[in-house]
Amino acid sequence: PVLHRIDLITVRLPFVKPFATSVHTWAVKEALLLRLESDGVVGWGECVADPDPFYASETTQTVRHIFKEFLLPLLTPGQTIGELLQRWSPVRGHGMAKAMVENALLDLIARQQDRPLHALLGFSERRIQSGISLGIQESIPALLEAVAEATSRPYHRVKLKIMQGKDIAWVGAVRAAYPKLTLMADANGDYGLEHATHLRQLDAFHLTMIEQPLSYSDIVQHAALQGELATPLCLDESIHNLDDARSALALKACGVINIKQGRVGGMIESLRIAALCQQAGIAVWSGGMDETGIGRAFNLQLQTAPGFNLPGDTSETARYFNQDIVAPSVVLADDGFIDLPKGPGIGVTVLEDRVARFTLARESIL
């Protein structure tokens, strides 16, 4: 498309509650939004990078830099997304920056064609499974309270964040109180291979999987750990692209991959990873990065693709924000499923007055 306006907008939305993990506690959602306009049609992308490098090495500032200096100059009217991704291939890494731009272009193109994004990608509408990720709590009673609140809504599965010192007894207490709950744990890389015997105690709680127990940069030690545990491992931080997924499968490092489209470079790379995993009989699901309604809408559209058969981290808007920047909000139906929003593109309407209310900085690039 011919772009008539390009804006980078930094927004900061207060979370309903701070989100604590083994690596950091985020009290607000600060995100970089990309707004593209062509002949009055607007497409939006949301970058999943945080202002800090504690989940991933990219930050909102590196994304701004890579976008302006290296990605934007390679954008030309009339090129397909496939051609663009090919032209971007000399830019190593920076998947979060690439995803932001790819997302905004896909939303724009789908809106220009007045079609939902899933249709543009070739997938039929389907209802999406839900899941909730609970941050690390102060105490076991506080955790049980958080699980009680989560299970008061019909989520298909609950994920507990764990870390050293807040793990076996904590997950065990939840399992004892909820014998039938579909439950998993996410360590965000807090353990080492020397903790294999310790982590093996989690096998008793029949978790559906343990996400990223070991380092964000490791694949091979996960393979060794998987050999020691009955519970399937799931990789999140370690998977940056299709090559990483191929390495993980070849090494039998995991039984499941958490595909975050915002982390792996966008929707197209996500579909490649999902197809590879499907061929290998490995389950995938869509993770989340506590996105605003823009990023979450992309995650919903992605889950119409084949292979996304496990409930992911797509939760109701109300558990993240009192006020979001899109309408409609994500709400679970009585059976726990999420109905895709109906509109063109990512399906939701971006509320520009809300965006303005939460804007920290706005940079007009074109």
For the annotated catalytic residues, the residue numbers are: 161, 260
Q: What is the CA radius of gyration of the chain?
A: 20
Structural contact between residues 88 and 72, judged by C-beta atoms closer than 8 angstroms: no
| Residue nearer to ligand OSB on the CB measure, 103 or 133 | 133
* C-alpha to C-alpha distance for 4 and 32, rounded to whole angstroms: 20
Member of 44, 55, 123, 308 binding ligand OSB (CB under 6 A): 55
| Residue nearer to Mg ion on the CB measure, 41 or 207 | 207
CA angle 273, 279, 281 (to 5 degrees): 100
Query: Which residue is at the shortest CB distance from Mg ion?
Result: 236
Q: Site size for ligand OSB, by CB under 6 A?
A: 11
129 binds ligand OSB (CB under 6 A): no
Member of 110, 183, 289, 300 binding ligand OSB (CB under 6 A): 289
Answer with the entry of Mg ion, ligand OSB, none that 133 interacts with (C-beta below 5 to 8 A by kind): ligand OSB
Using the rule CB under 5 A, give the single segment among 58-66, 110-118, 203-211, 259-267 that binds Mg ion: 203-211
| Residue nearer to Mg ion on the CB measure, 10 or 21 | 21
Task: Spell out, one character per residue from 170 to 199, where the chain touches ligand OSB: x when CB under 6 A holds, - when not.
Answer: ----------------x-x-----------
* C-alpha to C-alpha distance for 333 and 243, rounded to whole angstroms: 37
315 binds ligand OSB (CB under 6 A): yes
Following DSSP, what letter does each residue of 308-328 receive, concatenated? Answer: B-S--S---GGGT-SS-SEES
Comparing CA positions, the residue from 276, 273, 303 lying closest to residue 288 is: 303
| Residue nearer to Mg ion on the CB measure, 109 or 147 | 147
Secondary structure, 3-state, 43-73: EEEECCCECCCCCCCCEHHHHHHHHHHHHHH
